[in-house]
Structure 1
Amino acid sequence: MKKFSSVLPAFILLFSTLYPSFMTSAPTVNAAETTNVVISEIAWMGTTKSYSDEWIELYNNSGTDVVLDGWQLNAADGAPAITLSGTIPANGYFLLEKTDDQSVSNIPADLIYSGSLGNTAEDLKLIDPTGAVIDEVDTWYAGDNTAKATMERIDPNVAGMSSTNWATANASYADGLGTPKAFNSTGTDGSGSVEDPGGGTTTPPPTNNVCNDRTQHINHVSESEGAMNVYFNKCAFPQYASAGNEANYNVNFEDILIKRLNSATKSIDFATYEINLPRVVDTLIQKAAQGVDVRVIADSKDAADPHYAERFETMRLHLEKMVRGQDMKIGTADDIVVFSDSPMFAVEDSAKRTSLGLPASADDIAQVTVTVGTTAETGRLFVNGESKAAGSYFGPGNQMHNKFAIIDDRWVFTGTWNFTVTGLYGSDENMQQGILDGNQNQIVEVNWPQLAGIYETEFNEMWGATALNPDPAVSNFSSRKTDNTTHVIDINGRKVEIYFSAGDNAVGKMADVIRNEAQFNTYFSIFAWSDQAIADELKNKWEGSYNDLEGTLTGFDVKGLFDSDFYNQWWSASVDMSGRTASQTSVNNPNTRWKNPAPVYADAEVRKLHSKTMLIDVDTNSDPTTIVGSTNWSNNGNNVNDENMLIIHDASITNQFVQEFNARYVQAGGTLQ
């Protein structure tokens, strides 16, 4: 209940005189009281940029907006003393940055304040316009000055001064460890499972197969040479973990990528199918300004294709920011070199340009007329592409579908995730609140110079050079590439295979692994699968025959998930496997080929099931193997697009993947045995 200490109406003043026990001498907040606004996170230690870059985050745990006009956030010693204004949205965040809007890179402040926080402790009170203390923090219960890790509230629904409701942040952002304007890395959604500062859970994993936990769990991360870190942006079932091998799940991939990019001291090679995440773009720009060599390959699109038009326009605006660098001037030392499979022209809509911080006009970029494919196009060309001849380029019909980064010739960051808002958050509104309602994805990062060198060879083949600037005449994308990389390496005793498309027959290698190595089970989650060779090998394992509508169950275990958009297409392997009649048919493709339908399902994700992942001989002694990467199992994925695929022979990695697979499978209606 709110208590008033300001000037009171006469009848309340009389009431307090006659019945003093009903009133308090000073407004306080009950430690277990639920309020609509709480102090959610405090960077009392500053950031990696400066100890003076302090910031504070408020959180509105109610379902309605709260107008903060007349509210105050005051320290008991008088500094800071902040008069609040503005609105904090329902279930949203409000970011206060000290001195200027640079305390948190890339995230706009909702309010700028003055006054420093002490490094030992402060007593902060959040006071509403009536004078009631809505929340209070009387000391620093958590946070790390050395690591520049913030103090985060664990349960955002509970206000007050409970030491057990605060923890030290363990997720990275551009300026240290913390989650400005995002779900706290140590927080709980009310399910009762919370992370401790070391990354483990303080409650046991669920014994039932219900996926209702949205808390970020970071359980296994290593920086040592040979480290192989796997992350999932959706929930997982840790009850299926082998001993001490709980997966990293409900993870904000953007934080992981930014942390890895920020570790670069020499070079970043970045291949992206799409990109529109402002924090990632700004991090790349900052690293280039620091003197790191940043090379970016981005896929071009057909600008007239309505399926791509809007998001391709947005990507070009972000890419132009990279090309201009931190000073926004083309041709200076801080510029990022961006290259593509086909040239890109600047967006010239002044309103759209200024909305992203670009100059209103692109007239400092030369206007040219060139041939793209078979069509003459005129525009301000700011991203060069693979050329056929002088003034002539390949068209954008093929996809540079990679999503990988190479950092300091050591770390490889790859997986299924496109570096986009929809790929992680689902919407701009979700991004502002740190809600991970985007596509289902998986990422892998590996610290191994030999692997980095293999990816570097692939990157340089597309780039056309080993230098900072590309060579459009030497560059090769798509089917023009050659098979020029090592395919099998040993990473501290773990066999890892690496295949690139086009040219390496990556999908054929998958079929080989199933035919020659799978002994007990195969589980998969796939966005698009039309390749018949893989399906045939799996059919033979399942029912002992390659022939249509022939076979007897062998005892080999198959479970699978398909993205629901493609589950009922005539070309999808799901139709053959499940014994259904597709909504579309083809003369060259029967409605079903498997005599004994397998337990495969359409996904039940919020957005897309974006996996391209197969698990073989999970939790057995027969070489458990994970296949993951950007490659869809199709002709385009194998023979046309630029793709990368890892085949990881490792029991622990495969067990982490099956924890996430099991959650997706049960969510889609499957049963685990």
Structure 2
Amino acid sequence: MVISEVSWMGTTNSSSDEWMELYNTTAAPISLNGWTLQSQDGTPSVSLSGTIPAHGHFLLERTDDTSVPGVAADEIYTGALGNGGETLVLTDSQGTVQDQTASAWAAGDNTTKATMQRAKLSGDGTLASSWATATTGYGSGLGYGTPQDAADTPPPMISEAFHYDLKFAGGLSGSTVTDPYGEPSSSDNLPMAQAMLARINAATKTIDFAVYGFRDQCAFEDALVAAQARGVVVRGVVDQNSDGSFTYHDNNGCDTQAVITALGKDSSGNPWVRVDKNPSTGEGFGYIMHNKFFVIDSDWVSTGSTNYSDTGIGGEYNANWTIIIQSANLASVYTTEFDEMWMDGLTHHLKSDNTVHLLPVYTDGTQVESYFSPTDDATNNAIIPAINGAQHTLDIAIFYLTSQPITDAILAAKNRGVTVRVILDSNGASNTYSTHDQLCAAGIPVKIENFKGRMHMKALLADNNSMIIGSQNFTGAANADNDENTLWIRNGAVGAMSYDYETYYNNLWGAIPDMFICKNPGSESKYVGNTCSDGIDNDFDGYIDGADFGCQ
């Protein structure tokens, strides 16, 4: 539920003809009994009642039902809105703040009587970017706005169910496992790789991919080359370091450069796989193209936290998840983002916010919102709203947590009685800017993994009906600089997906000893599998095995 429109300036008839509107962003009706909408200065203060339908509006008019002639008010209130601004707070029956505005009006025009209208139905209402000044006239010259109008509603329901395949790394069979991960491998025989290869091999028209890179994944290189050979148009975007090297490389001829070479160039001499760097402006230096998505035949989208490497999709060595979704609507959104990078050569801050965010509701009630970084502010439009919506439970699995706004939202959830659990990667916990200590200080159990692989997920589940999945870590750089993608999925299919997520999450939780609640075992130490004898610098400190302090 959000505050969707505020006529703080009244109308051309009278400055006292103020009105406000709420919008139900969910696919189910909501009882407003016990809800309140009030200004922090006490006026107006409205005790709400009645029911707002799924994807419906609720119109509040000041004093009487004449502020918006011809449109019936759902509730009448008293009290004036100040022209300089009001902090309006929408609170549910449990006392949880669902939405609010900043103290100064973010939009609206007192001269033209244009309302302050929600530009983004999801996201933080205190941000100016969430609002716009209305441009649609109403009421035969009363001003500009859309009271009870469909102009500010999401697209209608589409005639398809939410078809998906959700895969988790590691064959967890129970909570007694001591290490849920496999081993780094070039193999393609694990479930996640098999599912993705099946989709690639079934492609008949197009394959677009934006991935961090490839390492030791010959099966994927072969599948892409075979698709191209049978007439499928295969295009790709990968990350490249500022010095021209690739983070993902190997000695087996199946790495990022090998894929670029194997797929070759088009008839104009341009490579089918392009890199994220723009040397002419220096844009991208220090940033990364961190996506892990495929779009196939304009009908399938895969995304998640899994890289196309021996430690990612190959060996399922790291804790990851991938979702494969059949949806032409979502595929169109991801193709728009892909084309901006591939066709226009735009990455990072050179991109624009040019994609649909709130998709049509699926027939099973599933709602999907899509955000790309750094243009779309997934932190404030998806991740924080998902956390703010939690009423009972919140389970987070994350590689890096350094974002203070996200941390504040998690703390607020704990303070309103939500049961919060966090699983954090040991490398992430070692980061100087990690905010997990704040969670620990508040009594939130943060288990820091002690497995050989990484806790590489970027995920949360709230109340078994709201889920975040994608490539974006919970950091400022991921949101503001990197090329990333985030999906916020709610209701509908999330009920079934939450069972799989909770099974996986509980197995991970149970496999981490309680001694590592708010205590970091280190990424290379005697507490972490064979990391003191594997010949790998697991914590990236320049010391390996016995030479590392953690192994002494």
- TM-score of the superposition, structure 1-length normalised? 0.47
Q: 2:432 aligns with which of 570, 586, 608?
A: 570
Residue of structure 2 equivalent to 1:286:
226
Q: 1:520 aligns with which of 368, 392, 402?
A: 392
Instruction: State whether structure 2 residue 208 is matched by structure 1 residue 269.
Output: yes
- CA distance in structure 1 between the aligned counterparts of 2:247 and 2:305, rounded to whole angstroms: 21
Q: What is the letter of the counterpart of residue 661 of structure 1?
A: Y
Residue of structure 2 equivalent to 1:616:
462
Kindly provide the CA deviation profile for residues 364-396 of structure 1, in whole angstroms up to 9, marking residues without a partner as x.
xxxxxxxx3xxxxxxxxxxxxxx54xxxx6454
- CA distance in structure 2 between the aligned counterparts of 1:633 and 1:617, rounded to whole angstroms: 20
The alpha-carbon deviation at position 333 of structure 1 amounts to 11
Instruction: State whether structure 2 residue 391 is matched by structure 1 residue 529.
Output: no
- CA distance in structure 1 between the aligned counterparts of 2:284 and 2:386, rounded to whole angstroms: 36
The alpha-carbon deviation at position 397 of structure 1 amounts to 2.5
The alpha-carbon deviation at position 424 of structure 1 amounts to 3.4
- CA distance in structure 1 between the aligned counterparts of 2:269 and 2:191, rounded to whole angstroms: 28
Query: Structure 1 residues 511 and 408 mapped into 2: Cα distance closer, same or farther (>3 Å)?
Result: closer
Residue of structure 1 equivalent to 2:193:
254
Instruction: State whether structure 2 residue 315 is matched by structure 1 residue 315.
Output: no
Q: What is the letter of the counterpart of residue 263 of structure 2?
A: V
Residue of structure 1 equivalent to 2:89:
none
- CA distance in structure 1 between the aligned counterparts of 2:332 and 2:362, rounded to whole angstroms: 13
The alpha-carbon deviation at position 339 of structure 1 amounts to 1.1
Quick check: 1:235–1:660 contact (8 Å CA) kept in 2?
no
Q: 1:539 aligns with which of 408, 411, 414?
A: 411
Quick check: 2:214–2:249 contact (8 Å CA) kept in 1?
no
Query: Structure 1 residues 231 and 613 mapped into 2: Cα distance closer, same or farther (>3 Å)?
Result: same
Instruction: State whether structure 2 residue 506 is matched by structure 1 residue 506.
Output: no
Quick check: 1:234–1:440 contact (8 Å CA) kept in 2?
yes
Q: What is the letter of the counterpart of residue 576 of structure 1?
A: Q
- CA distance in structure 2 between the aligned counterparts of 1:610 and 1:572, rounded to whole angstroms: 15
Residue of structure 1 equivalent to 2:474:
633
Quick check: 2:371–2:378 contact (8 Å CA) kept in 1?
yes
Residue of structure 2 equivalent to 1:301:
241
Residue of structure 1 equivalent to 2:170:
234
- CA distance in structure 2 between the aligned counterparts of 1:442 and 1:314, rounded to whole angstroms: 23
Quick check: 1:563–1:608 contact (8 Å CA) kept in 2?
yes
Residue of structure 2 equivalent to 1:600:
446
The alpha-carbon deviation at position 512 of structure 1 amounts to 3.8
Q: 2:362 aligns with which of 475, 482, 491?
A: 491
Instruction: State whether structure 2 residue 341 is matched by structure 1 residue 462.
Output: yes
The alpha-carbon deviation at position 331 of structure 1 amounts to 6.1
Residue of structure 2 equivalent to 1:171:
none
- CA distance in structure 1 between the aligned counterparts of 2:503 and 2:408, rounded to whole angstroms: 27
Residue of structure 1 equivalent to 2:273:
338
Query: Structure 1 residues 235 and 652 mapped into 2: Cα distance closer, same or farther (>3 Å)?
Result: same
Spell out the pairing of 1:78-89 with structure 2 (5 A cutoff): none
Query: What is the DSSP-based 3-state SS (H/G/I as helix, E as strand, rest coil) of the residue aligned with 2:401?
Result: coil
The alpha-carbon deviation at position 323 of structure 1 amounts to 3.2
- CA distance in structure 1 between the aligned counterparts of 2:488 and 2:173, rounded to whole angstroms: 23
Q: What is the letter of the counterpart of residue 658 of structure 1?
A: E
Instruction: State whether structure 2 residue 333 is matched by structure 1 residue 445.
Output: no
Query: What is the DSSP-based 3-state SS (H/G/I as helix, E as strand, rest coil) of the residue aligned with 1:417?
Result: coil
- CA distance in structure 1 between the aligned counterparts of 2:422 and 2:384, rounded to whole angstroms: 19
The alpha-carbon deviation at position 665 of structure 1 amounts to 0.9
Q: What is the letter of the counterpart of residue 524 of structure 1?
A: I
Query: Structure 1 residues 573 and 314 mapped into 2: Cα distance closer, same or farther (>3 Å)?
Result: farther
The alpha-carbon deviation at position 651 of structure 1 amounts to 1.3
Q: 2:502 aligns with which of 643, 658, 668?
A: 658
- CA distance in structure 2 between the aligned counterparts of 1:502 and 1:312, rounded to whole angstroms: 34
The alpha-carbon deviation at position 253 of structure 1 amounts to 1.7
Query: Structure 1 residues 667 and 275 mapped into 2: Cα distance closer, same or farther (>3 Å)?
Result: same
Residue of structure 2 equivalent to 1:402:
291
Query: What is the DSSP-based 3-state SS (H/G/I as helix, E as strand, rest coil) of the residue aligned with 1:657?
Result: helix
Quick check: 2:163–2:326 contact (8 Å CA) kept in 1?
yes
Residue of structure 2 equivalent to 1:481:
351
Query: What is the DSSP-based 3-state SS (H/G/I as helix, E as strand, rest coil) of the residue aligned with 1:652?
Result: helix
Query: What is the DSSP-based 3-state SS (H/G/I as helix, E as strand, rest coil) of the residue aligned with 1:628?
Result: strand
Quick check: 2:401–2:473 contact (8 Å CA) kept in 1?
yes
Query: What is the DSSP-based 3-state SS (H/G/I as helix, E as strand, rest coil) of the residue aligned with 1:488?
Result: coil
Q: What is the letter of the counterpart of residue 462 of structure 1?
A: M
- CA distance in structure 2 between the aligned counterparts of 1:446 and 1:628, rounded to whole angstroms: 12
- CA distance in structure 1 between the aligned counterparts of 2:200 and 2:239, rounded to whole angstroms: 20
- CA distance in structure 2 between the aligned counterparts of 1:662 and 1:632, rounded to whole angstroms: 21
Kindly provide the CA deviation profile for residues 419-449 of structure 1, in whole angstroms up to 9, marking residues without a partner as x.
1112234xxxxxxxxxx35111100000010
Spell out the pairing of 1:196-211 with structure 2 (5 A cutoff): none
Give the aligned length: 337
The alpha-carbon deviation at position 306 of structure 1 amounts to 10
Spell out the pairing of 1:27-176 with structure 2 (5 A cutoff): none
- CA distance in structure 2 between the aligned counterparts of 1:311 and 1:395, rounded to whole angstroms: 27
Quick check: 1:303–1:312 contact (8 Å CA) kept in 2?
no
Q: 1:668 aligns with which of 501, 512, 518?
A: 512
Quick check: 1:411–1:448 contact (8 Å CA) kept in 2?
yes
The alpha-carbon deviation at position 320 of structure 1 amounts to 3.6
- CA distance in structure 2 between the aligned counterparts of 1:261 and 1:507, rounded to whole angstroms: 31
- CA distance in structure 2 between the aligned counterparts of 1:516 and 1:323, rounded to whole angstroms: 45
Quick check: 1:511–1:537 contact (8 Å CA) kept in 2?
no
Residue of structure 2 equivalent to 1:141:
none
Query: Structure 1 residues 236 and 647 mapped into 2: Cα distance closer, same or farther (>3 Å)?
Result: farther
Query: What is the DSSP-based 3-state SS (H/G/I as helix, E as strand, rest coil) of the residue aligned with 2:303?
Result: strand
Q: What is the letter of the counterpart of residue 537 of structure 1?
A: A
Q: What is the letter of the counterpart of residue 559 of structure 1?
A: R
- CA distance in structure 1 between the aligned counterparts of 2:352 and 2:266, rounded to whole angstroms: 33
Unaligned runs of 5+ in 1: 1-223, 240-249, 325-329, 344-371, 373-386, 426-435, 465-473, 545-553, 580-593, 619-623
Query: Structure 1 residues 395 and 444 mapped into 2: Cα distance closer, same or farther (>3 Å)?
Result: closer
Query: What is the DSSP-based 3-state SS (H/G/I as helix, E as strand, rest coil) of the residue aligned with 1:571?
Result: coil
- CA distance in structure 2 between the aligned counterparts of 1:294 and 1:408, rounded to whole angstroms: 10
Unaligned runs of 5+ in 2: 1-159, 176-188, 516-552
Query: What is the DSSP-based 3-state SS (H/G/I as helix, E as strand, rest coil) of the residue aligned with 2:429?
Result: coil
Query: Structure 1 residues 629 and 303 mapped into 2: Cα distance closer, same or farther (>3 Å)?
Result: same
The alpha-carbon deviation at position 334 of structure 1 amounts to 12
Kindly provide the CA deviation profile for residues 262-305 of structure 1, in whole angstroms up to 9, marking residues without a partner as x.
11101001111111211101110110111111111111114488
Percent of residue pairs bearing the same amino acid type: 28
- TM-score of the superposition, structure 2-length normalised? 0.57
The alpha-carbon deviation at position 225 of structure 1 amounts to 6.2
Quick check: 2:373–2:484 contact (8 Å CA) kept in 1?
yes
Quick check: 1:302–1:309 contact (8 Å CA) kept in 2?
no
Query: Structure 1 residues 644 and 311 mapped into 2: Cα distance closer, same or farther (>3 Å)?
Result: farther
- CA distance in structure 2 between the aligned counterparts of 1:304 and 1:261, rounded to whole angstroms: 28
Q: What is the letter of the counterpart of residue 370 of structure 2?
A: I
Computed over aligned residues only, the root mean square deviation of the Cα atoms, in angstroms, reads 2.9
Query: What is the DSSP-based 3-state SS (H/G/I as helix, E as strand, rest coil) of the residue aligned with 1:567?
Result: helix
- CA distance in structure 2 between the aligned counterparts of 1:539 and 1:656, rounded to whole angstroms: 26
Q: What is the letter of the counterpart of residue 452 of structure 2?
A: V
Q: 1:411 aligns with which of 281, 287, 300?
A: 300
